[in-house]
């Protein structure tokens, strides 16, 4: 933290310890730290959205500075009108208008993601599964078969309108086992990455903060 002021480092260390105190139990120090965290972050994002969305995206988009050579993007008015409709919630007589932007967002999201998922989760998955099964080494061959069987049985598990019994049920059971083994591996991997985050924080406390603490007092 080379650019932080000594006071800033001191406060950051105290807040870190305050949040860690939750590991013992809920206490007044944690409550203070929590309130500071929520208040500061809420205010930060409010300012960030104001500048990034309202000012930089909308205002400079529809009213570009003279001489910048940028043309006004009239499409942005569409977003502005939808945004203004959201504010109608505060007027009881016309608060129903606020449902229009919601409907627009939900509908547009469903439409956009439908194609995106169809490509990435379906077509690409099929293409990637149809790969050579017999590889150079036995281990690689086993890996290819595992991918193929895991994909097929995993997909079978997600059939909702067919009862999981008989061969179909057996395949679904293999599928859920494959999923759980994957989750186990993913769990271990992520825990290790969280440990590195903890080490980073400890490094801050024992080096940056402790050194700064010694210099201040």
Q: At what angle do helices 138-157 and 166-203 cross, to 10 degrees?
A: 110
Q: Answer yes or no whether residue 99 interacts with other proteins by CB under 8 A.
A: yes
Closest by CA position to 15, among listed 32, 41, 33, 35: 33
Q: Answer yes or no whether residue 117 interacts with other proteins by CB under 8 A.
A: yes
Q: Answer yes or no whether residue 71 interacts with other proteins by CB under 8 A.
A: no
Q: Answer yes or no whether residue 184 interacts with other proteins by CB under 8 A.
A: yes
Q: The tokens 């049920």 sit on which residue?
A: 169
How far is the first Cα of the chain from the last one, in angstroms, to the nearest whole number? 19
Q: How far is CA 36 from CA 11, 12, 15, 21, 25, in A?
A: 11, 12, 9, 15, 18
Q: Answer yes or no whether residue 124 interacts with other proteins by CB under 8 A.
A: yes
Q: Answer yes or no whether residue 140 interacts with other proteins by CB under 8 A.
A: no
User: Closest distance between other proteins and the C-beta of residue 216, in Å?
Assistant: 27
User: Closest distance between other proteins and the C-beta of residue 215, in Å?
Assistant: 29
* Of residues 112 and 216, the one with the C-beta less far from other proteins: 112
Q: Which of 50, 55, 77, 118 is the binder for other proteins (CB under 8 A)?
A: 118
- Residue 12 structure tokens: 């950051």
Q: Which of 65, 74, 90, 160 is the binder for other proteins (CB under 8 A)?
A: 160
111-132 exposure pattern, b = at least 16 Cβ within 10 A, e = fewer? eeeeeeeeeeeeeeeeeeeeee
- Residue 108 structure tokens: 């547009």
- Residue 74 structure tokens: 């009239």
Q: What is the CA radius of gyration of the chain?
A: 27
Number of residues binding to other proteins, judged by CB under 8 A: 63
* Of residues 62 and 152, the one with the C-beta less far from other proteins: 152
Residues 32-61 interacting with other proteins (rule: CB under 8 A): 33-34, 37-38, 40-42, 44-45, 49
Per CB under 8 A, residues contacting other proteins are: 19, 22, 25-26, 30-31, 33-34, 37-38, 40-42, 44-45, 49, 86, 89, 98-99, 102, 105-106, 108-110, 113, 117-119, 122-127, 129-134, 148, 151-152, 155-156, 158-164, 179-180, 182-184, 186-187, 190, 194
């Amino acid at each position: 933290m080379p650019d932080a002021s000594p006071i800033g480092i001191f406060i950051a260390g105290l807040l870190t310890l305050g949040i860690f105190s939750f590991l013992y139990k809920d206490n007044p120090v944690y409550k203070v730290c929590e309130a500071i965290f929520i208040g500061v972050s809420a205010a930060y994002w409010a300012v960030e959205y104001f500048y990034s969305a309202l000012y930089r995206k909308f205002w400079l988009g529809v009213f570009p500075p003279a001489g910048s050579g940028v043309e006004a993007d009239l499409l942005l008015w569409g977003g502005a009108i939808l945004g203004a409709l959201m504010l109608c919630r505060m007027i009881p007589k016309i608060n129903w208008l606020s449902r229009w932007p919601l409907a627009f967002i939900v509908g547009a999201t469903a439409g956009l993601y439908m194609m995106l998922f169809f490509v990435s989760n379906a077509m690409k998955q099929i293409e990637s599964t149809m790969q050579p099964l017999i590889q150079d080494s036995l281990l690689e061959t086993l890996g290819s078969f595992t991918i193929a069987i895991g994909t097929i049985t995993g997909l079978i598990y997600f059939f909702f309108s067919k009862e999981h019994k008989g061969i179909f049920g057996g395949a679904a059971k293999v599928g859920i086992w494959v999923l759980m083994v994957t989750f186990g591996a993913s769990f271990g991997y992520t825990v290790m990455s969280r440990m590195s985050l903890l080490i980073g924080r400890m490094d801050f406390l024992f080096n940056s903060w402790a050194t700064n603490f010694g210099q201040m007092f």
